[in-house]
Amino acid sequence: MGFLYFGLMLTAEGPVVLEYNCRMGDPETQPLMMRMDFDLAAALDAVASRKLGSFKPAWKSGASACVVMTSGGYPGPYDTGKKIEGLTEANALPDVAVFHAGTKRDSDSIVTSGGRVLGVTAMAANLEQAICKAYAAVDKIHFEGAHYRTDIGAKGVTKSRAAGDIPRG
CATH architecture for segment(s) 4-162: Alpha-Beta Complex (3.90)
Task: Determine the pLDDT at residue 164.
Answer: 66
Q: How far apart are CA 161 and CA 128, in angstroms?
A: 9
Cβ contacts of 100-109, under 8 Å, gap ≥ 24: 101/26, 101/27, 101/68, 102/71, 106/81, 109/83, 109/84
**Is it true that the peptide bond before 167 is cis, omega within 30 degrees of 0?**
no
Task: Determine the pLDDT at residue 154.
Answer: 82
Domain ranges of the chain: 4-162
Considering the entire predicted model, what is its pTM? 0.82
Residue-wise pLDDT for 62-112, tens only, equals 999 999 999 999 999 999 999 999 999 999 999 999 999 999 999 999 999
Q: How far apart are CA 98 and CA 120, in angstroms?
A: 5
